[in-house]
Structure 1
Amino acid sequence: MTHNTPLSPRPLRRLSDVTRRVLTAAQLRAQGVTAAETNEQCRPGGSWQQILPGVFLLHPGPPTSEERLHAVLSYAARSPFRESSTGAGGVAGVPAQPNADEPRPAAATPRYADAVITGLAALTLHGFASAPPLPSLDTIDVLVPRLRRLRTVGCARIVRTPAVPTPSYVTGLPVAPVPRALADAVGELSDAATVRRMLTEAVRGGHTEPAAVIRELTEARLLNRPHVADAVESLLAEGRAVAEDHLYRMVREHALPDPVWNVDLCLPGGPHLGGLDAYWPEQAVAVELDTRAPRQEDDALWSEYARKREVLERLGITVVHVPPRKLRDSLEQQAAVVRTALMASYDRDPAAYVVVLPR
Structure 2
Amino acid sequence: MNHNTPLSPRPLSHLSAVQRRVMSVAQLRAHGVPPARIASQCLPGGPWQLLLPGVYVLHPGPPTSEERLHGALLYAGRPPVPGQGGRGGRGGAQGRPGAARNPAANPYGEAMITGLAALALRRFSTAPPLLSLDRIDVLVPRTRRLRSTGCARLVRAHALPRPEEITGLPVAPVHRALADAVAQLADAHAVRGLLTEAVRDGHCEPAAVVKELTRARLLARPHVVDAVDLLLAEGRAAAEDRLYEVVRAYALPEPVWNVDLRLPGGGPHLGGVDAYWPELAVAVELDTRASRRDADALWSQYARKREQLERLGITVVHLTPKKLRDYPEQQATVVRTALMAAADQDPAAYVVVLPR
**1:143 equivalenced with 2:139 (yes/no):** yes
Instruction: Name the counterpart of 1:324.
Output: 321
Instruction: Name the counterpart of 1:54.
Output: 54
- Matched residue type, 2:255: P
Q: Distance in 2 between matches of 1:335 and 1:33?
A: 62
More off after superposition, 233-242 vs 294-303: 294-303
Contact 1:72 1:140 in 2 (8 A): yes
**1:119 equivalenced with 2:132 (yes/no):** no
Q: Deviations over 1:232-268 (max 9, x none)?
A: 0000000000000000001110100100000011111
- 1:138-287 maps to which residues of 2 (within 5 A)? 138-269=134-265, 270-287=267-284
Identify if the C-alpha distance between structure 1 residues 168 and 332 changes in structure 2 by more than 3 Å, giving closer, same or farther. Answer: same
Q: Deviations over 1:75-125 (max 9, x none)?
A: 0004483444xxxxxxxxxxxxxxxxxxxxxxx8x5521201100000001
- Runs (4+) of structure 1 exceeding 3 A deviation are 1-4, 78-84
C-alpha RMSD of matched pairs (Å): 1.6
Contact 1:50 1:57 in 2 (8 A): yes
**1:293 equivalenced with 2:290 (yes/no):** yes
Contact 1:246 1:328 in 2 (8 A): yes
| Aligned partner of residue 160 in structure 2, secondary structure | coil
- Matched residue type, 2:193: R
TM-score normalized by structure 1?
0.87
Q: Which structure 2 segments of 5+ residues have no match?
A: 5-14, 80-92, 94-98
Q: Which structure 1 segments of 5+ residues have no match?
A: 5-14, 85-107
Q: Distance in 1 between matches of 2:3 and 2:57?
A: 10
- Matched residue type, 1:338: V
- Matched residue type, 2:279: E
Q: Distance in 1 between matches of 2:188 and 2:180?
A: 15
Percent identity between the two aligned chains: 71
Instruction: Name the counterpart of 1:9.
Output: none
- Matched residue type, 2:144: R
| Aligned partner of residue 292 in structure 2, secondary structure | helix
Q: Deviations over 1:24-47 (max 9, x none)?
A: 111111111100010011111111
Q: Deviations over 1:166-205 (max 9, x none)?
A: 1111011010100010000001111111110100000001
Instruction: Name the counterpart of 2:39.
Output: 39
Instruction: Name the counterpart of 2:86.
Output: none
TM-score normalized by structure 2?
0.88
Identify if the C-alpha distance between structure 1 residues 348 and 330 changes in structure 2 by more than 3 Å, giving closer, same or farther. Answer: same
Q: Distance in 2 between matches of 1:279 and 1:333?
A: 19
Aligned-pair CA distance for 1:216: 0.6
More off after superposition, 75-84 vs 341-350: 75-84
Aligned-pair CA distance for 1:300: 2.2
Contact 2:74 2:107 in 1 (8 A): no
Q: Deviations over 1:115-142 (max 9, x none)?
A: 0110000000122110011000011000
- Matched residue type, 1:305: Y
| Aligned partner of residue 295 in structure 1, secondary structure | coil
Instruction: Name the counterpart of 2:342.
Output: 345
Q: Distance in 2 between matches of 1:299 and 1:24?
A: 49
